[in-house]
Each structure stands twice: as C-alpha cells, then as structure tokens.
Amino acid sequence: MIEFKPALTENYTIGDRPTDVSIHYIVIHATELSYPDTIARFQNPNHVSAHVVIRQHDGHRTAMVAPKDVAWHAGNWDMNCRSLGIEQEAYVADATSFTEPMMGALASQILEWSAQYAIPLDRAHLLGHDNVAAPTKKVRTQMHRDPGWSFDWERLFQKLGVVPAPDLPVNIGQGVRIVTHYADLFQYPALESSVIGRLADALTYRASYGQEFVCVAEHGAWLAIDFNGQRAWLRQSQVSGIRRPILKVSRRMAIYGSTQSGAPATGFLQPDEQYVITDELAGLQTSDVAGHLTAHATHDVFKQIWYGHRLAYVKANEE
C-alpha cells in the first residue's frame, strides 16, 4: 500500500507530465536522515522534495509529490524536469541500511513507473544521484554522492527481473559494460599501478555496475577505456562486450550537464576519445513560473554518454 503525505507546494513545481515533458529517468537517493525527518523535511520550506520515500525496516512507501509534478531532488533542474525521484531511508556509509524490504519496494516502484512512462530498465535511465551531471562547472563540487558505493545495482537489476545481455567478446573500438559491483580504474595495466583519480574520492577512479564505455586498447587480461577524459585500465573479467553506437571524437567538443537551451559547457572531449552513446534526446527549455512548469522542446539534439561516473550530453550538430 502506498500512503500519500503531500510535500509542501513550495518545495516542488506543478507540472502536467508526461504531457508537457516526458518522464525519462528515475533517480535513486539515500536520505542520510531518518524516515520521519525526511517526511518533515519535505513538508517544511526547504526547497527540496522527492516523489516517493521508502522506509528502511519494512519497505513502506510514501508518495509525496505526484509524478506529473517536478520534485526538486537531483540538484539539476533539467534532470528534475525529466525524472522521478525516490528516496530510500538509507546511509551512504552503511551497506546494511539498504535492506531487503526496501530493495523490494524500490524495485516495485521502478517497475510500475517504467511500465507507465516507458522508462527503459537500464543504467542509462535508472540513475543514482551520484550519476547526475553537474549543470554548471561552478556547482560541480556540490553534486551529491548518494546512494554511493554501498548501493548494489546488480541486486536491484536482479529484483527488476532484467536478464543481463549475452556476453559478447571484447573488441577494440566497441562497447563494454561493467558487470561487477564496481571496477577500479588504473593508470597502467597492472594492479600495482596507481588509480587514475584522487585516492580520497572513488568517484574519480571507479566505474559502477551497468555503466558502458568503449574499449580503446587491450593488454593481456586488461583493457583500457576513456573515463573523465583519461585513459583508464581495468580487468577484462569485469566487463562484457556490447554492441552499441559509439561517439568517436574527431575534434574538441563541448559536454553539457543539462539539455536546456543556453546551458553552459561543463568540459570538453578531446580528439580520439571514444564513448558509448546511451541515448539521444531533444533539448528542453523549461522554467518555473510562479510554481508552475512551462516547457518547450528545442531543436537541439543531445547524445547521452557516460563521461565518467556521471553522465554527460554532447550536441549532435557539434560532432
């Protein structure tokens, strides 16, 4: 049973989805707060909300914002407009807080929305808050890191009944998908090599289950991918080959963390880098006018990639 405890109207934008904007993603969170504190937070003026909150001990679901409305949960307005947000009463640093009943309720909620709004059951559309792109360079360090490394994506996909795609051979110039809980990424094809990012921040050197990249080199039991613009080595046993469209960068091109018209570039891809194209979508121009959503599609076409741990968009006409 789903209980309804409406969030404060000032904490979300009233919309008419999927009529005005189609719902394309589900973003999964961990509250870092108790269940009652989370409900209270969304019912008081905090400029934050989510569509559904799931309770840890029994998987009880509380709907707080209707799917037609835009909850403020992703730290990225464009993503909020295109997504539904689910809060789990859980803590990034505590794997045991992602309980069995809560995982079951999470899977049920995802399956309901996926059927209702035609949201694909894959990692390009089921995102962690930690996979959401920063909309501008300035807010990059403020982007959230939940549900984090304790959250088991493989277990979620099992609960969703998603059968992994057949294991194809890994070939240079073709896609690979991470099939382990996560894969650490090294500077050289050797375990004694350093990781590519900052040791203190696993988001800078770790790919997670279901993310897709391009094999750009091989060496023995290792392969290399492009990750955050760096060449990164991981073991072949951690990936499966896939056949997907690929973005082969021929000249420096901008990446974006938002599909809104006029959104600033947040970085650049360099010639010879390669990324798997996980989706293609029309740009948006949306705003909140006195609490109500106004929306227009734009003529921009964006391709979605995994740039690193977070997704990114490129403009099709800038290729």
For Zn ion, the binding residues (CB under 5 A) are 29, 129, 144, 146
Within 8 A by CB and 6+ apart from 28, the residues are 86, 88, 106, 126, 127, 128, 129, 147, 151
Three-state DSSP class for 261?
coil
In the complex with Zn ion, which residue's Cβ is closer, 29 or 55?
29
Torsion of CA 284, 133, 228, 29, to 10 degrees: -140
Burial class, 96, CB count within 10 angstroms (exposed 0-12 / middle 13-18 / buried 19+): exposed
**CB hemisphere CA count around 243 (13 angstroms):** 4
In the complex with Zn ion, which residue's Cβ is closer, 78 or 146?
146
Three-state DSSP class for 81?
helix
User: Pairing state of beta strands 52-54 and 83-88?
Assistant: parallel
In the complex with Zn ion, which residue's Cβ is closer, 29 or 51?
29
Q: Minimum Å distance from CB 187 to Zn ion?
A: 31
Task: Please give the span between the terminal C-alpha atoms of the chain, in angstroms, as a whole number.
Answer: 48
In the complex with Zn ion, which residue's Cβ is closer, 27 or 277?
27
Q: Minimum Å distance from CB 117 to Zn ion?
A: 20
User: Pairing state of beta strands 83-88 and 222-227?
Assistant: unpaired
In the complex with Zn ion, which residue's Cβ is closer, 41 or 144?
144
**CB hemisphere CA count around 237 (13 angstroms):** 2
Peptide bond into 101 cis (omega under 30): no
Residue 318 structure tokens = 């800038």
Q: Which residue has the tokens 């939940």?
A: 146
CA dihedral over 109, 113, 115, 119, signed as positive or negative:
negative
Q: Minimum Å distance from CB 192 to Zn ion?
A: 35
